[in-house]
Structure 1
Amino acid sequence: MPSIEPGGAFPPISLTLLTGEDMTFGAGHWHLLVIYRGAHCPMCKAYLTAAEALRPRFAAAGFNLVLASADSAERTRPLLSETGYNGPVAAGLSVDQMRELGVHMTPAGDTGAAGPFAEPAAFAVDAEGRLHLVQIGNAPYARPDLEALLAGLTYDRDNAIQPRGGAR
């Protein structure tokens, strides 16, 4: 499993949003990529509803909040309708992409998922495409706290705080 480190370049992962646009991280803007488990997960439904409530605050602070999962677009769209999430979402995260990000993967098993999926994670990418924050969970309840991330990332960016926990 590749190790991605804060302060290093975000991997050149190509994500396609449900709108058909290709997602480029960095490119003059800060991004927070949040990986969620998928439509099979009841905790994700509450999480996406909460993310929608915070999305305007992320935008006002200058952060592009992007969600992604291994679910297909066909499984993702009803989830977005149910939760009201209206921000950028990438569906179809591949096993190779999950490995490149270093997230924990879970086989579908009897979860109701259509295939292997990623456990919750978050990656903050600065305007130059460098990884500022990595938060990788290994269980459904180990989710990134979006409100805390918004406050912390805003503070770090506004005070030119460098990424912590990089190369050892």
Structure 2
Amino acid sequence: MVYSNKLKAGDDFPHISAVLLDDNEVVLGKPQGDATWQAVFVYRGKHCPLCTKYLNELEGYKQAFADAGVDILAVSADSKAQLETHLEKLEVSFPIAYGLSEEQMKTLGVYISLPRSEQETDHNFAEPGLFVVNEFGKLHVVDISNNPFVRPELGALSRGLAWIRDPDNHYPIRGTLDYNLA
């Protein structure tokens, strides 16, 4: 039996970078602007119509995330050319990075799929993952799926992050008990 390396809540988020369309490198989990947290949305790629729909829906929650002090970044294993083509169907203003390597996918602990055909895509790709990194570089929220049909509902997620970020709630990172030691 082979075990995968899944990031756990409370872990230090690994140093992983990808490339933006302007050829600048971006570090995943490092918020931009006034935000102190970042939500990193790993998506399958341009071949996935559910990803296109989800990213377009995410645009509608961008302000709610910003109001909670959470920056948004999306990333896939697509090439620059694939992302440029995908942008024809995307109506988003948040940054999208490309070029996530298989080694980086393994470091993140996302599920990796083989393409069903060359018509689908020309590379192995990540299944959806969400990593919310706090101001200390710790993984505060994690959601990993093995298929495109299961992803966090964005309204509940944005409201939940606003609640977590409210200092009056004193909400800690959840799910940190190591059951191997308990």
Q: Which runs of 5+ in 2 are unaligned?
A: none
* Amino acid across the alignment from 2:176: G
Overall identity of the aligned pairs, in %: 37
**Bigger Rg, which one:** 2
Which residue number corresponds to residue 162 of structure 1?
172
Question: Hey, what's the Cα distance between the residues in 2 that align with 1:93 and 1:167?
Answer: 30
TM-score by length of 2: 0.85
TM-score by length of 1: 0.91
Q: Which runs of 5+ in 1 are unaligned?
A: none
2:39 to 28, 32, 37: 32
Structure 1 segment 17-96 matched on structure 2, within 5 A: 17-24=20-27, 25-26=29-30, 29-96=36-103
Q: Secondary structure at the match of 1:82?
A: coil
The question of 1:11 aligning with 2:14 is answered yes
Task: Select between 61-70 and 75-84 the one with higher mean Cα deviation.
Answer: 75-84
Q: Give 1:59 shift.
A: 1.8
Q: Residue 136 and residue 73 in structure 1: after superposition, are their counterparts in 2 closer, same or farther (change >3 A)?
A: same
Q: Residue 160 and residue 81 in structure 1: after superposition, are their counterparts in 2 closer, same or farther (change >3 A)?
A: farther
Whose relative contact order is higher, 1 or 2, with alpha carbons under 8 Å and at least 6 apart?
1
Equivalent residues of 1:36, 1:44 under 8 A apart? yes
Which residue number corresponds to residue 158 of structure 2?
150
More helix by share: 1
CA RMSD, 1 decimal:
1.7
Aligned length: 168
Q: Once superposed, which parts of structure 1, at least 4 consecutive aligned residues long, lie more than 6 Å away?
A: none
